[in-house]
Structure 1
Amino acid sequence: MPLTPLSRKLTPEDAAHLLRRTAFGATDAQIRALVGREAREVARDLLSFGNETAPGNPFDPAQAARPGAGAQLVRGAWLYELLYGPHPLRERLALTWSNHFVIGTDKVRNVPMLTGYLALLRRHAASDNFAAFTLDVARHPAMLRYLDNDQNRKGKPNENFSRELLELFTTGLGTPGRPNYSEEDVREGARALTGWTFEGGRGNDRFLEEPRFVFRPGQHDAGRKAYLGRAGNLGGEDVVRLAATHPQTALFVARKLHRAFVADTPDEAAVAGSAETFRRTNGSVRAVLEELLASEAFYARRAAIIRSPVEFIVGAVRTLGQPRLEAKQILNLAQTAGRLGQLLLEPDTVKGWDGGREWINDSTLLGRMQVAAALTLGGTAPALREQPTPLALLGQERSPLQGALGGLSPKQRTYLTLISPEFQLA
């Protein structure tokens, strides 16, 4: 069954909720611009993003002198786009996909690989064809390097990518006693993916060189294979397509999207509804999101997602009206996000960040307090055109914290709201 659409036009609280989830946060004026509009129309507009980027990005990874510096500049450039870019939902989705199709700068140290991979995530952010998205990921040098498929050859198969293609990218493991795939599928998939590699950009002295995908027929196992119930002389494209269009992939991807936009622990009936839309539209992420962001399910459960470190930082800056920060401040914020548990383009493991309650502990809460103080109270705090309203900060016309904050200065009220439990929830 498709998700039930929201029947009312957007209220101020609805609009604030939508922009907290899709744009990290927004000003009072940006929120009120959506009030009175149909939810489906707004969702469609938000998903109609283009390729434009924020002007004046001060970070150029191509100018790096060393691989590590290149990775730092890529992170700085991405955080700048997250903070100031014209399409926050595109960046929100790219962040989500970076935690799905995981690579890491611990192994991928080539700058064009990193920038090209990030461009791929943006290009497919609201993909109309998840199978095509997955195939582009599978063939990208960053993924080939990260999961070692560049070492996968006939007679010496490497199963790393074949395993994660199923376990983490498409079908998921399944349940005890009812797995979604077998070990034989992993082995046969690895055989089909032999010969996929890349050339160029290898080694620390060539970290600025552009790599490119190549298929080496002499290293490919062209024999008969059986994979997810299909048999034949299957190649890499075949197994990626079979995995990406498997019925269980619809549930796996739908659950990821619900965790990103609805709740840390999503309602499985609503997930099933989105999975049906995914199947009906032949894997259209855009169709799933358009329905989801205009549904009763999306608006019914509020404050059910704990902001990640990056979401907290970006949400604070966008809610404050996107005051201009110096390049050094942005690099420091990227590193701070890492200390709080979310270093861009380097999740903890190949399965990505767990999220939810894992984001919050005594140490990370102290770090969030320090970020909020630097943005509001510190000597280098950016100048604000105006202080954010309760609607912008907490999604309510009247702040539930008003009684506790009376008598304080506007800066103090903003600081205390940013560190409140209510602001940690999107």
Structure 2
Amino acid sequence: MDRREFITQAIPERRQKQDFSGMARTITGLSPYTGPWTINEVRHLLKRTMFGASIPDMQYFLSLNTSSSVAELLEQINHPPYNPPQPPLNNYDATSPDANCPFGQAWPGTPDTLAPVSTVGARRRSLKSWWIGLQLNQSRSLREKMVLFWHNHFVVELDTISVGTYNYKYNELLRLHALGNFKTLVREITTNSTMLKYLNGEQNTAAAPNENYARELQELFTVGKNANGTPPYTEDDVIAAARVLTGWRNDLSGGVNSANGFNSYFDPSRHDSGNKQFSTYYNNTVITGRSGAAGATETDDLLDMIFQKDDVALNLCRKLYKFFIYYEIDAAAENDVIQPLANIFRNSNYEIAPVLSALFNSEHFFDFLNMGCLIKGPLDTCIGLLREFNVQFPSASDLAAQYAQWDRMRSQGSTLQQNLGNPPNVAGWPAYYQEPLFHELWINSDTLPKRNQFTDRILTSGYTNLGTTIKVDVLSYTASLTNPGDPLQLIEEVLALHYSIDVSVNVRNHLLSILLSGQALNSYWTTAWDDYTGDPTNTSYATIVRTRLETFYKYILSLSEYQLS
């Protein structure tokens, strides 16, 4: 598809808002979407399933249809079998010398150095920086967005974990199963070293049971709560589940400085081998206690029992809906979307891909009332902008600067109240669950000015670290558009690329006045642009155009409409 064809599709007639007060918010369900496939639909799909919608990605998916686009995002076509990314590297040796891993080498699987300078904090930062790098450089896949979803679902606060490789193995696990089987992921996370440490599973013994993980397993990870906020299971079910899970521990025989301290194992001597009685909610199931190594199989019995409950599929499908569609689930959405998705989930033996495929191919997903209705989270805001404007980062040949700039963007997300790797508590970020505001919590008197400060800075001075600067190249970006010399077409194309809802005539007029510097004739911009492109080495021409474009994009990125996805 050439640029002219792209821009023709990029500016279809915008849909008008309608008043549905007193009615269901939407009346669409999971029937396959068969409507237009324009930049509106592609932008919506990519902004929800990836971090931002870049021009190359939008051009690519416009050349496909809806079902092929979703299949590719789910890695069902045009993707090789999943291959884990290169692990994080030692980028920190200058400040935290690592006796166990040379600079530039992968540190996961090696012991943390504790003295004379501890590498524990440096490895955490390295992991988080690496994670940001993967988001920035993601392939055309839903995997990265799902890793964030699972991180918010199976929360671990990485800063509470003192073993670097534990944190990496947790991320590796989420990444491996991101588009796979949910039940398998629950089984793996239950005995994951990081989770055993975070929710005290390694301290759960027959002599001193610890109920933390058993409670969150049911309340947050699987069954969930009733509509009135009460759990359908009982406190005795939590106690019985904790007894089932006794005996799992981390191998720390050599302390945190041991290379053997990265894997969990089952210790029969710490396991409660008695029978475990569950409530009527679980059909009065009794899990027969076992001694010796067979005690580990009780964990599988527990999960088999839990996954017999319809609530598991419903709970997970509601979470997916709030993450990808909208925070409010009314009766129509429950009946026409959630219940059918839950049936698909159960019938596929808890494979996540069929659920996501049905959702992203549906009329409901592409309903115009579900477009531009979510406030972007901080990571969507920061990473999405960087990807959409093709901001260039240091290459791997300058490893220290590359990781430093990735970390600077992680810090920016934290400033906006989404600290990657460190949700505030085991329930995750409040914007994904806290009634009644949900995603509105991302915007407040503290974060909104900081969002604007970020967009202003990335457009102008940028962020400098270790002799490198990352910023939007407004000249290069604008030159990549279809017809930047025409101010009216430039405005429409930029709005179509970056906005999920329409803006007023007044906004368009103000954007035009910026490009024209208050003059009346459109040629005032066209002449300035032609002068620059005719002699790009002329600093005077470049400065004139750059100044107007920086003001132009600053205004676009400052409006409330830009905060919506």
TM-score (norm 1): 0.92
Q: CA deviation at 1:45?
A: 0.9
Which residue matches 2:207? 155
Aligned to 2:382: 313
- Is 1:21–2:81 an aligned residue pair? no
1:410: which partner in 2? 549
Summarize the Cα distance change of 1:415–1:195 in structure 2 as closer, same or farther, 3 Å threshold: same
**Alpha-carbon distance in structure 2 between the residues aligned to 1:369 and 1:11:** 29
Q: Deviations over 1:246-301 (max 9, x none)?
A: 21011110011111111122432322221121112111111100111111111111
Give the share of equivalent positions with the same residue, in percent. 28
Alpha-carbon separation, structure 1, partners of 2:129 and 2:455: 19
Say if 2:252 and 2:258, in contact at 8 Å, map to a contact too: no
Aligned residues: 424
1:241 matches 2:325:
no
Map of 1:1-400 to 2, 5 A cutoff? 3-35=30-62, 37-48=64-75, 50-51=82-83, 53=85, 59=91, 62=107, 65-87=118-140, 89-127=142-180, 129-176=181-228, 179-200=231-252, 206=257, 210-227=261-278, 228-229=282-283, 230-233=285-288, 235-266=298-329, 267-269=333-335, 270-300=337-367, 301-324=370-393, 326-327=401-402, 328-355=404-431, 356-378=439-461, 380=469, 381-383=471-473, 385-387=476-478, 389-395=494-500
CA distance in 1, matches of 2:259, 2:457: 35
| Deviation of 1:130 (Å) | 1.2
Q: CA deviation at 1:331?
A: 1.3
Root-mean-square deviation over aligned CA pairs: 2.7
More divergent stretch after superposition (392-401 vs 290-299): 392-401
Distance 1:201 1:367, change over 3 A: farther
Contact 2:287 2:302 in 1 (8 A): no
Task: Summarize the Cα distance change of 1:403–1:369 in structure 2 as closer, same or farther, 3 Å threshold.
Answer: same
Q: Distance in 1 between matches of 2:420 and 2:308?
A: 29
CA deviation after TM superposition for structure 1 residue 209, in Å: 6.4
**Residues 88 and 41 from structure 1, CA distance in 2 versus in 1: closer, same or farther, beyond 3 angstroms?**
closer
Counterpart AA for 1:268? E
Moved over 6 A (4+): 54-58, 396-400
For the residues of structure 1 that align with 2:229 and 2:414, how far apart are their CA atoms? 38
* C-alpha spacing 1:215/1:321, structure 2 compared with 1 (3 Å): same
Q: Please say if residues 152 and 428 of structure 2, whose CA atoms lie closer than 8 Å, have aligned partners that are also in contact.
A: yes
CA-to-aligned-CA distance 1:69-110 (integer Å, 9 cap, x gap): 211111111011111122552111000110000001232121
Deviation per CA, 1:180-208: give whole Å up to 9, x if none.
Answer: 211111000000000011113986x5287
Higher RCO (CA < 8 A, seq sep 6+): 1
Q: Which has the larger radius of gyration?
A: 2
Q: CA deviation at 1:177?
A: 8.9
Aligned CA distance change for structure 1 residues 397 and 105 (closer, same or farther; 3 Å): same
Distance 2:171 2:440 in 1: 27
Residue by residue over 1:312-358, the C-alpha shift from the partner in whole angstroms, topping out at 9 and shown as x without a partner, is: 11111111124225533321221121122111111111100011111
Q: Which moved more, 1:336-345 or 1:249-258?
A: 336-345
Is contact 1:79-1:330 (8 Å) kept?
Answer: yes
Which stretch shows the higher mean deviation, 150-159 or 42-51?
42-51
Distance 1:182 1:22, change over 3 A: same
Cα distance change of structure 1 residues 302 and 207 upon mapping to structure 2, 3 Å threshold: farther
Can you list the C-alpha shifts for 1:350-389, whole angstroms capped at 9, x where unaligned?
1000111111111111111121122212254243532373
- Unpaired runs of at least 5, structure 1: none
Closer/same/farther in 2, CA of residues 201 and 265 from structure 1, 3 Å limit: farther
Report if aligned partners of 1:377, 1:412 keep a CA contact under 8 Å in 2. no
Distance 1:245 1:372, change over 3 A: farther
Q: SS in structure 2 opposite 1:256?
A: helix
- Contact 2:287–2:301 under 8 Å retained in 1: no
Change beyond 3 A, Cα 1:54–1:315: farther
Unaligned runs of 5+ in 2: 1-27, 92-103, 290-297, 395-400, 432-438, 463-468, 482-493, 515-547
Q: Please, what TM-score do these two structures have when normalized by structure 2?
A: 0.70
